Amino acid sequence: MSSTQSDLPAADLLARLHSVQSRILAAAHACGRNPADITLVAVSKTHDKAAIAALIAAGHTVFGENRVQEAAGKFADRPSSVRLHLIGALQTNKAEDAVRLADVIEALDRPSLADAIDRAASRAGRCPDLLVQINTGAEPQKAGIAPDAAPAFITAMRHRFGDKLTGLMCIPPVAQDPVPHFRALAALAASHGLSRLSMGMSADYEAAIACGATSVRVGSAIFGTRLRRTAATA
């Protein structure tokens, strides 16, 4: 897919990547965590293959995309060292492509999608790692399972997917302090014995690290601003 704007020059991208990496290190040290336990997922949605290639050439290997078709165009032929996370709300009819393409699907949030992923994984002979997305703010328009339904759903998904169900993901409401949402996600994961916590974006990844994030999903702080797209991105 072509980008909707011209991307930053490679040197600027690398400077921005390094700045985010050093802020992650500092945030980890500030709360006594090992920085090696925190994965930076570079969210490359809307940005073109050249921008992604510049980061790969500099040694960055983990990327996030929120649309399956766009992700396939940019990552289907990726080197085996490069890992792709699908982080957007996932339509059931895209599960087949998502399962074939992704290393991690962060948007498991309903039984019908679990069915579709399970069927696709059987056919493909592979299953990506899966994170249950929790709608911690109980926002009606947002993807993710509602907080009150989450414990039973997580238990069912563990039973169904076993070790492939590795953690939880959330996108806090835009206009609220994200910290209570990060804490709620961490507590929920701990109560289910799940180790991976995908939380924190460009505006709040340091706060997320202080709350235990093991993945931060950072887009604009690395790639620059995106043009707004018409369809919902979360």
Judged by beta carbon, residue 97 or residue 106, the one nearer ligand PLP is 106
Q: How far is the CB of 203 from ligand PLP (least distance, A)?
A: 6
Residue 21 backbone phi and psi in degrees, to 5: -60, -40
Q: Residue 41 pairs with which residues in a beta bridge?
A: 217
Judged by beta carbon, residue 78 or residue 217, the one nearer ligand PLP is 217
Which residue number has the CB closest to ligand PLP? Answer: 219
Report how far residue 208's alpha carbon sits from residue 198's, in angstroms, rounded to the nearest whole number: 9
Q: How far is the CB of 5 from ligand PLP (least distance, A)?
A: 14
Q: Concatenated DSSP letters for the chain?
A: ---SSPPPPHHHHHHHHHHHHHHHHHHHHHTT--GGG-EEEEE-TT--HHHHHHHHHTT--EEEES-HHHHHHHHTT--TT-EEEE-S---GGGHHHHHHH-SEEEEE-SHHHHHHHHHHHHHHT---EEEEEE-TT--TTS-SB-GGGHHHHHHHHHHHHGGGEEEEEE---TTS-SHHHHHHHHHHHHHTT--EEE---TTTHHHHHHTT-SEEEE-HHHH-PPPPPSS---
Judged by beta carbon, residue 61 or residue 233, the one nearer ligand PLP is 233
Q: Are 86 and 102 in contact (CB under 8 A)?
A: yes
Q: How far is the CB of 217 from ligand PLP (least distance, A)?
A: 4
Q: How far is the CB of 43 from ligand PLP (least distance, A)?
A: 4
Judged by beta carbon, residue 73 or residue 160, the one nearer ligand PLP is 73
Judged by beta carbon, residue 162 or residue 227, the one nearer ligand PLP is 227
Judged by beta carbon, residue 92 or residue 202, the one nearer ligand PLP is 202
Q: How far is the CB of 109 from ligand PLP (least distance, A)?
A: 12
Judged by beta carbon, residue 65 or residue 156, the one nearer ligand PLP is 65
> Which residues form the interface with ligand PLP (CB under 6 A)?
43, 45, 66, 87-88, 171, 201-203, 217-221, 233-234
Q: How far is the CB of 82 from ligand PLP (least distance, A)?
A: 18
Q: How far is the CB of 60 from ligand PLP (least distance, A)?
A: 15
Report how far residue 149's alpha carbon sits from residue 134's, in angstroms, rounded to the nearest whole number: 9
